[in-house]
């Protein structure tokens, strides 16, 4: 899919939490999305499963690291079990979309295909999840790539003619920021707070604000 505009200049660096002025709004045709922590509310699901299945309380503010085992006083085997469930059985685990995600993505899909690039190793479970929540008509206009590696997204972003990418993992965004033709946007989460000076979005209404359909 080619961008609706053939030439896009990389926007000037913005302060933490800022977004482009209306004159530089992004067309959805050239923006891609990570899934976990951006489209899917993986934190809510992790906390809920920990409580329901293991009788463990995980306050959201304690999730200060992208790798949960680095910040939680919890048996690593339990953490692995929970994430295994979310990776391989997202529908059965009742993984929920982030608030507003489906509405905004559906709106964007009316003018362009949606592109998702995830570090998940297997695309099939999350493809089923996306189709369930977006509906078959919108899902038919989606492109999904599972890299199996958080640090392997740049070539796929470029091959899909994308210029912007939204991710919650700040290390991924820092790597993308080194690419001359990709602008990363950090999706605000507890584990990336205070760790970057990159462009930031707080939620899906904020994403809608910086984009133009």
Tell me the percentage of the chain whose pLDDT exceeds 90: 66
The answer to whether residues 78 and 174 belong to one domain is: no
The answer to whether residues 76 and 114 belong to one domain is: no
* pLDDT for the residue 71: 61
Neighbours of 31 (CB within 10 A): 23
Looking at residues 99-125, what average pLDDT do you find?
96
* pLDDT for the residue 76: 86
* pLDDT for the residue 194: 78
- Assign 61 a pLDDT band (cuts: 50, 70, 90): confident
The answer to whether residues 65 and 143 belong to one domain is: no
| Residue 7 forms part of a structural domain | no
The answer to whether residues 128 and 206 belong to one domain is: yes
Give pLDDT tens digits for 142-190.
999 999 888 899 999 999 999 999 999 999 999 999 999 999 999 999 8
* pLDDT for the residue 203: 96
Looking at residues 34-48, what average pLDDT do you find?
94
The answer to whether residues 189 and 131 belong to one domain is: yes
The answer to whether residues 165 and 203 belong to one domain is: yes
Give pLDDT tens digits for 11-37.
333 444 444 444 478 999 999 999 999
**Phi and psi torsions of 74, nearest 5°:** -140, 145
C-alpha distances out from residue 49 to 21, 199, 204, Å: 40, 32, 24
Residue predicted with more confidence, 42 or 59: 42
| Residue 84 forms part of a structural domain | yes
| Residue 163 forms part of a structural domain | yes
| Residue 156 forms part of a structural domain | yes
* pLDDT for the residue 69: 60
| Residue-range definition of the domain harbouring residue 84 | 42-88
Q: Is 78 exposed, middle or buried (0-12, 13-18, 19+ CB in 10 A)?
A: middle
The answer to whether residues 104 and 194 belong to one domain is: yes
The mean pLDDT value of the chain amounts to 85
Give me the CATH number covering residue 193: 3.40.50.1000
Give pLDDT tens digits for 72-94.
668 889 988 999 999 999 999 99
**Could you tell me which of 134, 42, 54 has the C-alpha nearest to residue 93?**
42
The answer to whether residues 59 and 132 belong to one domain is: no
Distance CA 55, CA 143 (A): 38
**Could you tell me which of 55, 28, 37, 61 has the C-alpha nearest to residue 143?**
28
Distance CA 34, CA 194 (A): 20
The answer to whether residues 137 and 196 belong to one domain is: yes
The answer to whether residues 76 and 113 belong to one domain is: no
């Amino acid at each position: 899919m080619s961008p609706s505009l053939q030439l896009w200049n990389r926007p000037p660096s913005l302060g933490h939490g800022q977004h482009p002025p209306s004159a530089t709004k992004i067309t959805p045709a050239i923006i891609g999305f990570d899934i976990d922590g951006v489209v899917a509310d993986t934190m809510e699901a992790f906390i809920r499963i920990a409580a329901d299945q293991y009788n463990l309380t995980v306050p959201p503010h304690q999730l200060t690291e992208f790798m949960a085992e680095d910040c939680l006083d919890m048996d690593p085997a339990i953490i692995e079990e929970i994430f295994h469930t979310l990776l391989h059985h997202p529908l059965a685990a009742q993984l929920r979309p982030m608030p507003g995600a489906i509405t905004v993505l559906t709106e964007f899909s009316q003018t362009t295909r949606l592109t998702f690039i995830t570090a998940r190793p297997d695309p099939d479970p999350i493809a089923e999840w996306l189709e369930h929540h977006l509906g078959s008509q919108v899902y038919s206009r989606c492109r999904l790539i599972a890299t199996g590696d958080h640090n392997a997204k740049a070539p796929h972003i470029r091959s899909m003619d994308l210029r912007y990418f939204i991710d919650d993992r700040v290390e991924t965004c820092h790597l993308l920021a080194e690419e001359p033709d990709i602008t990363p946007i950090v999706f605000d989460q507890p584990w990336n707070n205070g760790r970057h000076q990159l462009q930031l979005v707080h939620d899906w209404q904020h994403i809608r604000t910086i984009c133009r359909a």
